[in-house]
Structure 1
Amino acid sequence: MSLLIAVTWETQPWMERFKRHLPGREIAVLGEDFDRNAIRYVATWGPKPGSLSGLPNLEAIFSLGAGVDHLMSYPGLPDVPIVRVSQDDLTHRMSEYMVLHCLMYLRDQRRYDEDQKARRWNPDRSPPIAGDVRVGIMGFGVLGQDSARKLKMMGFDVAGWSRTAKSVERFEVYAGEKGLAPFLNRTDILISLVPLTPETRGILNRSLFEKLARDGKLGGPVLINAGRGKLQVEVDILSCLDDGTLKAATLDVFETEPLPEDSPLWTHPRVTITPHNSAVSEPEATARYIAEQIRRHEAGKPFENLVDRTRGY
């Protein structure tokens, strides 16, 4: 069995990790000589065109991250199972991010930051309690559901939206096109964790923002996008912030990354920016997860977290 590492960043650390977790196995990297007939598995992120071709005995492709849109658009993608990395470490990191930013808006922390800069003592604000704030999570898979459980523990009124119907204990889950408008109508803080597909590209736009709740306790709806940058239309976000359609936005992902220095998002007073690190895959845990999936497969068990190619995630 050989594993091919096909990435656009430094390969040596990944080589060392996989050798530890797959002892005695042959590990190959692009750019070096290797027997293409011996490759059974590929671990990849953003593979260059042609790098996954000519592997006649390939059995599975592992994405070195939670998303797979980088593979769905790959020309000539081999017809083998694609496995998403889904691990507790990544899930917990995403939930931490969502709790942090929802609490920041609940307690109006950005205003206190400005007061501190101005040396202004202003204790007279009375924020709402978490139970009065309705959080809506678009994309109610593993990450969305874990975030929902932890936000609910903090007291927030949480609901989910999914492209297909789901039953999740203790949560109201809206589904499909029919359920989108009522989901948005009851949402004060919109969290986006939907995968990027042809159907969801650009979904975070003015038309969607205008459907968000107008009667909430925060004084206007808030967007948090930690899904994919191309879900959002940034000119719409900016214009909606300027005219009050949105009160604020936390953005971890962007249409172009790194975010260009001349982007007006950097300096907008109601935008919080993080550098696509809301839930960075911890490399050691990722390598361990992939090794476990390979052993499951070779023991005759099915892969976990298989990608549905018809849906694109």
Structure 2
Amino acid sequence: MSSIVHATFLVAAPDQPGLVARLAGFFYNAGLNIVDAGNHTDVHAEGGPRFFMRMVVDVSGLSAPAASAALGGSSTRAALEGAFGDLATTLSATWSVRYGDLVQRVAILVTKDPACLYDLVLRQRSGELPCEIPLVLSNHPTLEPVAESFRIPFFCLPVTPDTKREQEKRILELCRRHHVDLVVLARYMQVLTEDFLNEAPPVINIHHGFLPAFQGAKPYHQAHARGVKMIGATAHYATKDLDQGPIIEQDVARVTHAMGPDEMARTGRDVERVVLSRAVRAHLERRVIVEGRRTIVL
């Protein structure tokens, strides 16, 4: 008996009658079972309503006669993708697929704050985050003992304004060497260049507040001085526009006038850990469709 393998399909298309039926019917005709699905229509989209769908399909039966017949006599993943691509073309849809037996590899970039690094690694080790973490990279040596305690290779790549281009080239080389699928900025206190982002895998960043928020140094001191009652965090995809990428996840925590900047910072770190882990998990589970400057999380 073959083991179960799931494939997650993400689809975005102009809204039109019968989309769910046509997409589901494709897998029905191939004898493949949809084990999870979700869809949404954005009626406010610029240019007309837009349809989004996520389907998790059991493809362990791909070699069965029904699948082979529906896919033109072939039972390969390439044949499945080719046939689904033909359907997507008739729907003017964009789409992507990832298979569950291909474990994604995540590079974590850090500077000196260990909170998010610890949280991500512990969640990955406990099975909450379905990925491998082949390396941790930093512009400071501070967190090398943390990576070593989990037996994760650590690379320290110091950076100055004059060496930034070379440092980023080295990060890209390490990502390629370790077959990295996702880069997570776990409080990495450097601005990535447009050239880097153009070549890198998707990059998820954590920001210490809702965007836009208190900018610059000592954000919690600024928040304390303004007497805020809520602080939050935002996880988003990094783009060439600083802190303006598509938002994946956000959350808040209440604070009071009795809390000083350090206590606010501790509360903020708690929120940051949760928000970043949710965003990384959503990406790894293929729940995020990027549509322009925003996301649909299914």
TM over 0.5: no
TM-score bin (small chain): 0.3 to 0.5
Q: Which has the higher strand share?
A: 2
**TM-score, normalising length from structure 1?**
0.34
